[in-house]
């Protein structure tokens, strides 16, 4: 298979996975940050 095709798929997969991983980590961190306050109130 052409290196251009491999690069096209690799860049797309890596970028989407990297961004999704960053957002999910931030989302989970936000959940942990909010939970103690909510349980206190």
Partner 1 sequence: MRSIRVLGALAVVTLTGTFALGLGLPATFEQRTYSRMVALHPPLAWTAYVAFGITAAASILYLIPRTRRPRWDAIASASAELGVLFTGLTLITGSLWGRPTWGVWWTWDARLTTTALMLVIYLGYLAQRSIADTASARAMRSAIIGAMAVVVVPINHMAVEWWRTLHQGRSLASLKPGSTLDGDFIAAMLLGFVAMTLSYVWLLVLRTKVIEADNELEAHALTAAIAARRREAVAQ
What sign does the CA torsion over 9, 14, 19, 23 have? positive
Binding mask 1-40 for partner 1 (x = CB under 8 A): xx-xx-xxx-xxx-xx--xx--xx-xx--x--xx------
Q: Please report how close the Cβ of residue 29 comes to partner 1 at its closest, in angstroms.
A: 8
Which residues bind to partner 1, rule: CB under 8 A? 1-2, 4-5, 7-9, 11-13, 15-16, 19-20, 23-24, 26-27, 30, 33-34
């Amino acid at each position: 298979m052409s290196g251009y095709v491999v690069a096209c798929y690799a860049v797309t997969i890596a970028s989407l996975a990297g961004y999704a991983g960053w957002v999910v980590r931030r989302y989970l961190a936000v959940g942990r940050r909010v939970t103690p306050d909510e349980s206190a109130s």
